[in-house]
Amino acid sequence: MTNDGRWASEEAQAAPPIAKQPDSPGAWAFASVLALIAAYALYGSFDFPIEIRRWPLGLSVVILLCVTIYAVQQAILVRQSGEPEFMHPLAEPPTEYRLYGTVITILATAGFVLFLIGAYLLSFLLATMLFLPAYMVAAGERRPMMLAGVTIGMLLAVWLMFGRLLNAPVETGLWVSLDWLFY
């Protein structure tokens, strides 16, 4: 896909291959975290009897080995990318993964977490009533009819599909209970 979300034409797809570039430091950091998790799993596996130790132990070793190979691969690519002979027509990173996009994603995820906390404390219905318009406004939706319509529509859907059809206690939170809605 191109940066505006559209698919490249057939001719563009037939373009010459782009030389491999080293990954971003973020990817290295993520791989390091995965290696730490694998090391922890490897260490923890020694507490288990042999029958249930083999599998997590083997997997942890595979992850650690692969991260090591990945690190070597990246080191070679970093070295090669510095050489003048090495062609590296670096493609621009996709729009959604630039810094601005990452910040927005983090903020949106924080919003999802707040919704979940709200649902736990205030009930799913109240949390939905607060989260939907708040998110839409924050994301740039300004039409009052749209905000009201989507919120009411979703509240009805939550109440009907989850509350009535699946008998989920969508009206009950730790602090608030809207039991009367069901009677």
Partner 1 sequence: MIDSYLEAGRIILQFDNLFYAVLGFLVGAIGGAIPGVGGPLVLTLMMPFTIGMSAEAAMILLIGGYTGGQYAGSVPAILINTPGNSSSAAAVFDGYPLAKQGEAVTAISVSATASGIGSILGGLFLIAIAPVLVQIVLLFGSPEFFMLAVVGLAVIVTISRGSLIKGLISGALGALVASIGTSLIRAQPRYNFGIAELYDGINLVAAFIGVFAVAEMMRLASQEGAIASALSTTGSRIKGIWWTLKEWVTLLKSTVLGIVLGVVPGEGGTVAAFVAYGEAKRSSKEPERYGKGHPGGLVAADAANNSVISGALVPTLAFGIPGSNQAAILLAALMLHAVRPGPAMFDQDIVLTYTMILAVIVGGIVTLVLGIGLAKQLGLLSIVPTPILVPCVIVVSMLGAYVVAFNWMLTVQALLFGVLGYTLIRFGFSVVPFILGLILGPLAELNLNRTYQIAGDQNVLWFILQRPLSAIMAVMVVFLLLSEPLRGKVQLSRLLRRGGGETARERR
Q: Which of residues 24-43 bind partner 1 (CB under 8 A)?
A: 24, 26-27, 30-31, 34, 37-38, 41
Footprint of partner 1 on 67-96 (CB under 8 A): 67, 69-70, 73, 84-87, 95-96
CA distance 119 to 122: 5
Tokens standing for 18? 């782009």
Q: Which of 75, 82, 100, 164 binds partner 1 (CB under 8 A)?
A: 100
- Residue from 91, 166, 180, 183 in contact with partner 1 (CB under 8 A): 166
Among 32, 36, 62, 79, binds partner 1 (CB under 8 A): 62
CB 19 → partner 1: shortest distance, Å? Answer: 5
When binding is defined by CB under 8 A, the residue of 32, 36, 43, 55 that contacts partner 1 is 55
Q: Is residue 64 classed exposed, middle or buried when 0-12, 13-18 and 19+ CB atoms within 10 A define those classes?
A: middle
- Check residue 182 for interaction with partner 1 (CB under 8 A): no
Q: Which of residues 120-149 bind partner 1 (CB under 8 A)?
A: 120, 124, 128, 131-132, 135-136, 139-141, 146
Q: Which amino acid is at 19?
A: A
Name the minimum Å distance from CB 144 to partner 1. Answer: 14
In angstroms, the Cα distances linking 77 to 17, 25, 32, 74 are: 16, 13, 18, 5
Rounded to the nearest whole angstrom, what is the least distance from the CB of residue 183 to partner 1 in the complex?
20
Give me the least distance between CB of 177 and partner 1, in Å please. Answer: 16
Alpha carbon distance 94, 2 (integer Å):
8
**Amino acid of residue 110:** A
Q: Rule CB under 8 A: say whether 114 interacts with partner 1.
A: no
As a whole number of angstroms, the distance between CA 52 and CA 96 comes to: 42
Task: Please give the Cα distance from 152 to 125 (Å, whole number).
Answer: 11
